[in-house]
Structure 1
């Protein structure tokens, strides 16, 4: 993303964080819209597996101008094996997420999704060999305690929808670790395009098992789903180019009130107080871990 031209250096430093926060907030609003459009498609009779495929199809159509602009170079990467693994993980995450929102409230799925950075930290420990000390282990434990507040094992709240939401969060965390590896060689445009291009044929196979042709009346909903998915990810990437990940994550919590508000207006859905409490505990833990990792990274850079 280009920096603002002209003005003082202090003005430019101020502009980037403001723009970054606005991009992140816009991304969260679009992701809330994605969840609502997806529920609408499933309420119209489409199976979650088919909705996943149609989401990827409309996303690819919207990415065609990017291919025209960048040319064939967008199709080449030295990391195709790593892309294949990430796409498989992403597909499973999507299927679990879409299935979850067909079973439980969208707000509850969103609250549980805040566990993804916790699973991402665990993945970084296992896959990347990162060293984690007591403070971050404690924050991880607190985060998973927040999940227990939402899920309440042994109570009436725990069911297939909740388990699928947790599985989606875990797979999203793993996908984030794989994304971190991809960014070492490829730019964000290439990662977004190749990921969606590879997801399309892979998501077709399970969709064919439950396929039914969408009606013309469903097209605006499906198009809205694709627009929210693509523009949401573009906004998220732009936000992360302007501000530090720890600051960006702080504003990602806006996704929950956005989602709850839209779901209430469209479906008259609400979530209980325990879900809000659990989401705040998970989110506070994730923010602490991200800030701690950023601080340690800066210390390592100064010591190098």
Structure 2
């Protein structure tokens, strides 16, 4: 969860004007990334008859194997430097991921994903107190637009489950805190080390809590479990490739393709339904967040 880069930002040179070829690459990379995250979400929905901790275990373990292989190949020290912050990021991230997976039992995939993307708003609020950053009045307007979308979902969509809403809100709040912790870590640790701590913690956490209710997968369920870590890793990898060749303000809006893809696949494959109010709510949530990203891109005081 979250936008984790696999290479140090200091090594990435972003041209003032992006060539057409690079724009096409960004679009290609973000489509692959969004599809991968979408397929991961769909796999989680297909495994709802299993314990959420079992899902967290397989999600963490699959990616952990890949991150360990990359660290070994790059010869990067596994333990990193900011150990306390790395552990804190891993614990908060694992908690956020677990709550999000829990919410998928109560909400349609598209609704859950769109609500989870409220994380940048909570991150901005945390930044006021923890990083002493300021939020401009226009940004508050964009945040209000997104929250208006939430109110429409909650008040006018009878399909929205209160338990699922509480779970995904908690997941978004913790995800916003993850962004702050990563900002605190800065360039002191390689991004793969950060992800590795996260995936290791998810593996241990999910593994221990899954023991009492363990249900051995059968048939095609093995395939869904196996793809969790792989799709999660592919999603992060291609998102990183996009951020390496373009600025945040160009790439970030494409991140919300995941909401579109998840909604479409949920409708066509999982038989999920969306009312006109839920679609309007999701549209307002995404519109507010995208406008905030584009607005921040105009302010040189933000490190984009």
Partner of 1:54: 58
For the pair 1:24 / 2:30, whether they are aligned, the reply is yes
Counterpart among 82, 86, 105 of residue 89 in structure 2: 86
Partner of 2:10: none
Structure 1 segment 225-304 matched on structure 2, within 5 A = 225-296=228-299, 298=300
1: distance between equivalents of 2:186 and 2:279? 33
User: Aligned in 2, Cα 1:41/1:157: closer, same or farther, shift over 3 Å?
Assistant: closer
User: Aligned in 2, Cα 1:16/1:192: closer, same or farther, shift over 3 Å?
Assistant: farther
DSSP-derived class of the 1:253 partner = helix
Quote how far apart the aligned CAs of 1:99 are.
Answer: 0.8
Counterpart among 38, 44, 65 of residue 38 in structure 1: 44
CA contact (8 A) 1:91 1:203 kept: no
Partner of 1:204: 207
For the pair 1:65 / 2:78, whether they are aligned, the reply is no
For the pair 1:165 / 2:171, whether they are aligned, the reply is no
| TM-score, length basis structure 2 | 0.86
Partner of 1:151: 154
- Structure 2 residue ranges without an equivalent (≥5): 1-6, 8-14
Quote how far apart the aligned CAs of 1:10 are.
Answer: 9.5
2: distance between equivalents of 1:216 and 1:60? 24
DSSP-derived class of the 1:267 partner = coil
Quote how far apart the aligned CAs of 1:97 are.
Answer: 0.8
CA contact (8 A) 2:107 2:161 kept: no
| TM-score, length basis structure 1 | 0.86
Partner of 1:220: 223
Quote how far apart the aligned CAs of 1:153 are.
Answer: 7.9
For the pair 1:13 / 2:16, whether they are aligned, the reply is no
Quote how far apart the aligned CAs of 1:22 are.
Answer: 1.9
User: Aligned in 2, Cα 1:139/1:300: closer, same or farther, shift over 3 Å?
Assistant: closer
CA contact (8 A) 1:182 1:191 kept: no
1: distance between equivalents of 2:122 and 2:102? 20
1: distance between equivalents of 2:281 and 2:184? 31
Quote how far apart the aligned CAs of 1:246 are.
Answer: 2.0
String of CA shifts for 1:207-249, please: whole Å, max 9, x gaps.
2243222235422111111211111111122222222222222
2: distance between equivalents of 1:160 and 1:280? 22
CA contact (8 A) 1:111 1:275 kept: no
For the pair 1:195 / 2:201, whether they are aligned, the reply is no
User: Aligned in 2, Cα 1:228/1:300: closer, same or farther, shift over 3 Å?
Assistant: closer
User: Aligned in 2, Cα 1:186/1:294: closer, same or farther, shift over 3 Å?
Assistant: farther
CA contact (8 A) 1:111 1:276 kept: no
Partner of 1:5: none
- Structure 1 residue ranges without an equivalent (≥5): 2-8
Counterpart among 122, 135, 138 of residue 135 in structure 1: 138
Greater helix proportion: 1
User: Aligned in 2, Cα 1:154/1:280: closer, same or farther, shift over 3 Å?
Assistant: closer
Quote how far apart the aligned CAs of 1:52 are.
Answer: 0.8
Quote how far apart the aligned CAs of 1:58 are.
Answer: 1.7
